[in-house]
Amino acid sequence: MRKLIGRESEIKLLNEALKSNSPELIVIYGRRRIGKTFLINQVYKKFIKFEVTGINNVNLKNQLLNFHLKLQKSYKKAKLPKSWFEAFDTLAEYCSSLKSKSKKVVFIDEFPWLDSRKSNFLPAFENFWNSYAAKRTDLIVIICGSAASYMINKIINSKRGLHNRLTQKINLSPFKLNEVEKLLKYKNVKLTRYDIVQLYMTTGGIPHYLEKIKPGESVAQIIDRLCFEKNGFLRSEFNNIFISLFDQHENHEEIVRSLAKVRKGLTRNEILQKSKLSSGGTLTKTLNELEESGFIENYTPYKGTKNAIYRLSDEYSMFYLKYIEGSKPTGKSYWMKIQGQQSYKTWAGFSFETICIKHIDEIIEALKISGIHSTHGSWISKGRIGAQIDLLIDRDDNIVNLCEMKFYNSAYSITKKYAEEITNKVNAFLKDTKTTKSIFTTFITSHGLTENKYSRQLVQNELTINDLFSSL
């Protein structure tokens, strides 16, 4: 039996709903394979009194039949409904027949699929909540779905019957590194943290992808099997992701493809130019949906530059577009050859930077500055081509941490040439920003720094990947 790994904050929220003296309407959303259904079934398995899952691409008649068959298992009086209003009226009758005083959970999974064209599903559900469930202090209603466009626009940002009705929302995110490590240990997969970071660059911390990892395989063997063998699970996954999540999914995929080509990210105007999408509400909506679903992140450049930068933050998409798409199924040992190439080492370095940015809370904790207010962002020099800082932390205690992130298979040694680059970068930053704060050069590496005169001269803080695995 699978064990529920991580998700501490979500579990706490769900358990608090069990203790509340109010009706609870909880929405949980996130990309497919992220573990939404598993989370609810594990936390609420003793309290679920009715559970139904929408079926994709079936008509109203069959959706109602499915709903009826599920309800009839617990409520023998249930009759086959002719409409969603009848269906929810019968559900209300069933809930009223339950005599226990403890909380009762109604779980509607793949909620968007139930709302077929002209079915009146959503108005019927809104009526069920507003006229019945909202008056029952012993009810928790969970609505869950992968279709991000629907969940964001029709539920979370509802202007209709569910406006301001949600009591909690959970946007389930991919695992962080410490959760990945816990899951692999539970599966008896024995890999170093350096290897786990490499796997993270491939899977992006998606629990279902990680479930495919087997004990006794090296990272190269795992990636070969999942990504490059003929029936590898991750070979075809990319083609299904956007279709399942978004309306007009071609727009979302086009933006992801555009961002995958540019390491530093793109402004809104640059996305327009490269993706050929039209400006206005469609682009805003598409960017918002991608951000809510964890595919991209919006960074505000240092010192409040108006043009926010969007970066691709989904590791699996980055890996797929770089290495899997267009590749032919191969025999074994393919990935071992790729790993040895300089182009991979460069790409892995960029991917590591994205992972570090995603673990900013762990970095702040390791620097022992969690009690100090700070903001983080990126910076590109106006006057010096190539001078760029992908992560800086601007602190209220008069310090700015300029972070250098290096993914290397041994201790990293700062050379004379690189020391000069860092010095020039710091000087350019001071000149451009005119900051009066002290600058701390901070290194985040795989295995630490080799101590030499350059590290002693330049580096104020040194972290390793172990710090990224903190559970806070």
Strand order in the sheet with 24-29: 48-53, 104-109, 139-145, 24-29, 168-171
Among 145, 171, 197, give the residue marking a domain's end. Answer: 171
The verdict on 236 and 353 lying in the same domain is yes
CA distance 337 to 120: 56
Residue 333 lies in a domain: yes
Question: What is the pLDDT at residue 244?
Answer: 83
- Residue 137 sits in a domain whose CATH number is 3.40.50.300
The verdict on 64 and 157 lying in the same domain is yes
The verdict on 30 and 86 lying in the same domain is yes
Residue 305 lies in a domain: yes
Residue 3 lies in a domain: no
The verdict on 74 and 181 lying in the same domain is no
Total count of domains within the chain: 3
Question: What is the pLDDT at residue 147?
Answer: 86
The verdict on 350 and 283 lying in the same domain is yes
CA distance 413 to 451: 7
Question: What is the pLDDT at residue 100?
Answer: 87
The verdict on 188 and 299 lying in the same domain is yes
Question: What is the pLDDT at residue 292?
Answer: 87
Nearest to 285 by CA among 171, 179, 156: 156
The verdict on 179 and 288 lying in the same domain is yes
Q: Give the per-residue SS3 of 62-99.
A: HHHHHHHHHHHCCCCCCCCCCCHHHHHHHHHHHHHHCC
Question: What is the pLDDT at residue 387?
Answer: 81
CA distance 166 to 175: 25
The verdict on 291 and 391 lying in the same domain is no
The verdict on 205 and 332 lying in the same domain is yes
The verdict on 191 and 94 lying in the same domain is no
pLDDT tens across 347-397, in order? 999 999 999 999 999 999 999 999 999 999 888 887 655 688 889 999 999
> What's the pTM value of the predicted model, to 2 decimals?
0.92
The verdict on 298 and 239 lying in the same domain is yes
Among 111, 142, 171, give the residue marking a domain's end. Answer: 171
Question: What is the pLDDT at residue 309?
Answer: 86
Task: Please state the φ and ψ torsions of residue 380, each to the nearest 5 degrees.
Answer: -130, 130
Residue 1 lies in a domain: no
The verdict on 135 and 72 lying in the same domain is yes
Residue 315 lies in a domain: yes
Question: What is the pLDDT at residue 383?
Answer: 65
Question: What is the pLDDT at residue 306?
Answer: 63
Residue 2 lies in a domain: no
Residues in the chain: 472
Residue 43 lies in a domain: yes
Q: Identify the domain containing residue 415 by its residue range.
A: 369-468
- Tell me the residue ranges of DSSP E strands in 45-179: 48-53, 104-109, 139-145, 168-171
Among 171, 201, 231, give the residue marking a domain's end. Answer: 171
User: Which residues of the chain register pLDDT less than 70?
Assistant: 1, 280, 303-306, 331, 383-386, 472
- Residue 460 sits in a domain whose CATH number is 3.40.1350.10
